[in-house]
Amino acid sequence: MDRVEHKLGIRSSGTATIILDNCRVPKENLLGNPDIDAGFAGAMQTFDNTRPLVAAIAVGCARAALELTREMLTAAGVSIDYDRPAQLQVAAAATFLAMEADWEAAYLMTLQAARLADNSRPNSVQASMAKAKAGRVGKRDHPEVRRADRNLGLRRERDVGEVGTRRQDLDIFEGTQQIQQLIIVRRVLRLSSSELK
């Protein structure tokens, strides 16, 4: 191993440079298919298993943002009433309810994509949907928490900063929103990459 990268986020996944110099690998030890097209398809299938994992991390980060927001709202005397429509509550409570609903959708989509992957069933669409939704929720929730902190005057900037540290990474890790949407549309419409760019 040449070097291990020291990263700011996603530390549970090691990133390192490995150099193989004058190394021979027996044919029976090769991973995947030596044909480049099949190898590329295999690499792309790997994302079907890793995208739900990234979505799960984003869901966890978004949950932390929700919990911090709930604490801040409670400290400011804002109550969230699940028995009343959001539009009949104060703006901060209505925003929290919308964030929580989005989180629930991302959570359920992530569970579905992971369940399919665990059972070796096709999940390209579900994995991309979960990754896109969870990445978006994680990215969007942090500014909402920061806004609540400022509006309520609670001065919890350090806590808010810690919650938001990895939000940007999770939105682009394993493919950006645009890539996820392209994958979803291609699969739903049954179009190849040459038919829909």
CB 114 within 8 A of CB 127: no
Tokens of 49: 């298993």
Other Cβ atoms within 10 Å of 147 Cβ, number: 14
Tell which wins on pLDDT, 186 or 146: 186
**Beta-bridge partner residues of 17:** 3
At residue 34, the pLDDT reads: 65
Q: How far apart are the first and last CA of the chain?
A: 38
- The answer to whether 195 is a known catalytic residue is no
Domain 47-189: which CATH number of 1.20.140.10, 2.40.40.20, 1.20.1560.10, 1.10.486.10 = 1.20.140.10
Sequence-ordered strand ranges (E) for the chain: 3-4, 16-17
**Mean pLDDT computed over 78-92:** 90
Tokens 């509550």 — which residue?
89
Confidence of residue 130 (pLDDT cuts 50, 70, 90): very high
**Among 71, 144, 174, 195, the one annotated catalytic:** 174
Compute the half-sphere exposure of residue 11: CA atoms within 13 Å on the CB side of its CA: 5
